[in-house]
Amino acid sequence: MILTADNITTLLADQDLLISAPEFDGEIKHLAYNSKEVVPGTLLFIKGNFKPEYLDDVIKDGAIAIVAPQNFESMTDLPTWVSDDVPAAMSIVSMAYYGYPQNDLALIGITGTKGKTSTAYMAYEILRSATHDKVALSSTLQVITGNEPKYHYRAHLTTPESLDLFRWMREAVDNGMTHMVMEVSSQAFKMRRVYGLRYNVGIFLNISPDHIGENEHPTFADYLAHKMMLFDHSEQIVLNADSDYFGTLIEHAALNVPRDGIWLYGKEDADSPKADAYFEATDTNLHGSVFNVREVGQQAQHLHVSGEYTLDMPGDFNQSNALAAMIATRLVGADAPAMVEGLKIVKVPGRMQVLNTKSHGTIYVDYAHNYASIAALLQFVRQNESVNKLTVVVGAPGNKGVSRRPGIGKAVSEGADIVYLTSDDPQYENPDKIADEIQAAITNPEVTIYRQLDRTVAITEAIKNAGPADVVVLAAKGLDEYQKVNGVDTPYENDWAVAQRIDSELEF
């Protein structure tokens, strides 16, 4: 894949992303935004905290041109395309360099404060059945571009940087994939990771305050506005009629998508606007559920998804997510039999994993990490377990999502008997300070609070102190095998592995 200088100039000028272009007649044979990825023939995008003094090294490694903000132009003799929006420029150039692979994929984008990953895996499994394994996935947990293990990658962002995203899309198309399901975060829109990308179907699951802080969204209004950008970039929309701020959401969606391209879903008998399709649980237990889907109105009857479905995940919030996945996949070619098969087998690594011990009760491992998800998880446990004491082990990340810390405390205050406040990717912040902020919101005097910042020790103590009728919830980290500490990914056993090991040790 090669781009000429004229190609790049035209691409950026057409998008009003170009301030000036260099006199340059070379050919670009590689793209990078990380200096460690530079090879001969590279066009390097200068973004983030890249320092001018690094330029000498990247030139030695083979960078032949850069796309940079104005302050870099006078600092190097490298041919420079000057742009006031380098991340957007990177997206536009990357999709061209990789041959616009999105045009060869039926693309589903999923956003929401909670449930993106679970919904993505549901849609992925449905489409695996419908397409005979020709579906790619981009999720918080992993990226899948082909059926062989070598095409399964660990994810580092909910939505990848644009250059990585289009590279993976190209790999997926080359591997014969015809569909792709991807999580789309508010940060993906804010940081231009999906600039210029359109979705065949966009799913909007829900919205509640989250990701508000110095390094993310300054206000909830900003968070909501960036979430709703999915409406601006989707051909059809699947929208939760039970979501908070539904009036604002439907009003914005209607500005961009015709009514026959907006599909509403909701819970049967819920106090919500009329939906096109409703779900109602008929049976639920700790390991799964059975629910009915009912279509309402002429438009919805074209879906042909009415009927009973078995979901290998518990909780009405997961049934809601399942219906969203069903509608979206139906719009890109799946049928009801594929939905039956996909939902029956879907597993989300690190989500609602349950370990039943002999003498220390039940242990749940889940990625729940904010008020909405932790409160829903604790409520589910209360409703479906005979609980003597409910213990939560939880922390919050440093340098991001500061607004979620009081929410975590509130959820604990409402649903737990015991809490162990611990570390969860503290980064450059003091984990004690983070724990202080969570603890300040635990206003229920009946909740017993322990502080143990070594996460492995906290989990060990929580399980050892649990009785046979107790439940221990390990929240937020799931199968993550590292802790982010001072900019370093520090190896960590992962919550599920720690729980299994402790349970095994306690039996001897």
**Please, what's the largest Cα pairwise distance for the chain?**
74
> Which one is the CATH code of 3-97: 3.30.70.141, 1.10.10.10, 3.40.1390.10, 3.30.450.40?
3.40.1390.10
Q: Give me the pLDDT at residue 508, please.
A: 57
Task: At 133, list the tokens.
Answer: 């394994």
Backbone angles phi, psi at 416, to 5 degrees: -110, 160
Q: How far apart are CA 23 and CA 46, in angstroms?
A: 19
Binding site, annotated residues: 35, 112-118, 158-159, 185, 193
Residue 505: exposed, middle, or buried by beta-carbon count in 10 A (0-12, 13-18, 19+)? Answer: exposed
Q: How far apart are CA 356 and CA 371, in angstroms?
A: 26
Q: Give me the pLDDT at residue 398, please.
A: 92
Question: Which of 448, 393, 383, 381 is closest to 420 using CA atoms?
Answer: 393
Backbone angles phi, psi at 294, to 5 degrees: -125, 130
Q: Give me the pLDDT at residue 363, please.
A: 94
Q: Give me the pLDDT at residue 351, please.
A: 75
Backbone angles phi, psi at 277, to 5 degrees: -145, 140
Backbone angles phi, psi at 440, to 5 degrees: -60, -25
Q: How far apart are CA 272 and CA 249, in angstroms?
A: 13
DSSP-assigned letter for residue 17: -
2: CB partners within 8 A, 6+ apart: 27, 28, 29
Domain range summary for the chain, segments of one domain joined by +: 3-97, 101-345, 353-506
Task: At 192, list the tokens.
Answer: 């231009």
Q: How far apart are CA 50 and CA 164, in angstroms?
A: 18
Three-state SS annotation for 363-408: EEEECCCCHHHHHHHHHHHHHHCCCCCEEEEECCCCCCCCCHHHHH
28: CB partners within 8 A, 6+ apart: 2, 3, 4, 5, 8, 41, 42, 43, 64, 65, 97
Q: How many CA atoms lie within 13 A of 391 on its CB side?
A: 28
Q: Give me the pLDDT at residue 158, please.
A: 85
Q: How far apart are CA 30 and CA 105, in angstroms?
A: 23
Q: How far apart are CA 159 and CA 238, in angstroms?
A: 19
Q: How far apart are CA 465 and CA 333, in angstroms?
A: 51
Q: Give me the pLDDT at residue 287, please.
A: 67
Cα dihedral 322, 323, 324, 329 sign: positive
Binding site, annotated residues for ATP: 112-118
Task: At 334, list the tokens.
Answer: 């799946």
pLDDT in tens, the chain (508 residues): 899 999 999 999 999 999 999 999 889 999 999 988 999 999 999 987 777 778 888 999 999 999 999 877 667 889 999 999 999 999 999 999 999 999 999 999 999 988 999 999 999 999 999 999 999 999 988 999 999 999 999 888 889 999 999 999 999 999 999 999 999 999 999 999 999 999 999 999 999 876 666 667 788 899 999 999 999 999 999 999 999 999 999 999 999 999 999 999 999 876 656 899 999 988 876 667 899 999 998 888 889 999 999 998 877 788 999 999 999 999 999 999 999 999 999 988 777 788 989 899 999 998 888 888 899 889 888 877 789 999 999 999 998 878 889 999 999 999 999 999 999 999 999 999 999 999 999 999 999 999 999 999 999 999 999 999 999 999 988 888 889 999 898 999 999 999 999 998 886 5
Task: At 456, list the tokens.
Answer: 């492995």
Q: Please report the beta strands in 157-314, taking only residues with DSSP state E, as ranges in sequence order.
A: 179-183, 199-204, 234-240, 262-267, 277-284, 289-295, 307-311
Q: Give me the pLDDT at residue 200, please.
A: 98
Q: Which CATH superfamily is domain 353-506 in?
A: Mur ligase, C-terminal domain (3.90.190.20)
Question: Which of 270, 186, 181 is closest to 220 using CA atoms?
Answer: 186
CA distances in angstroms from 227 to 74, 155, 180, 205, 392, listed in the order given? 37, 21, 20, 10, 30
Cα dihedral 367, 373, 378, 384 sign: negative
Q: How far apart are CA 276 and CA 299, in angstroms?
A: 7
CA angle, corner 123, sides to 256 and 231, nearest 5? 10
Asked whether the beta carbons of 257 and 234 are under 8 A apart, the reply is yes
Q: Which CATH superfamily is domain 101-345 in?
A: Mur-like, catalytic domain (3.40.1190.10)
Q: How many residues does the chain have?
A: 508
Per-residue DSSP letters for 263-306?
EEEEETT-SSSPPSEEEEEEEE-SS-EEEEEEE-HHHHTTT---
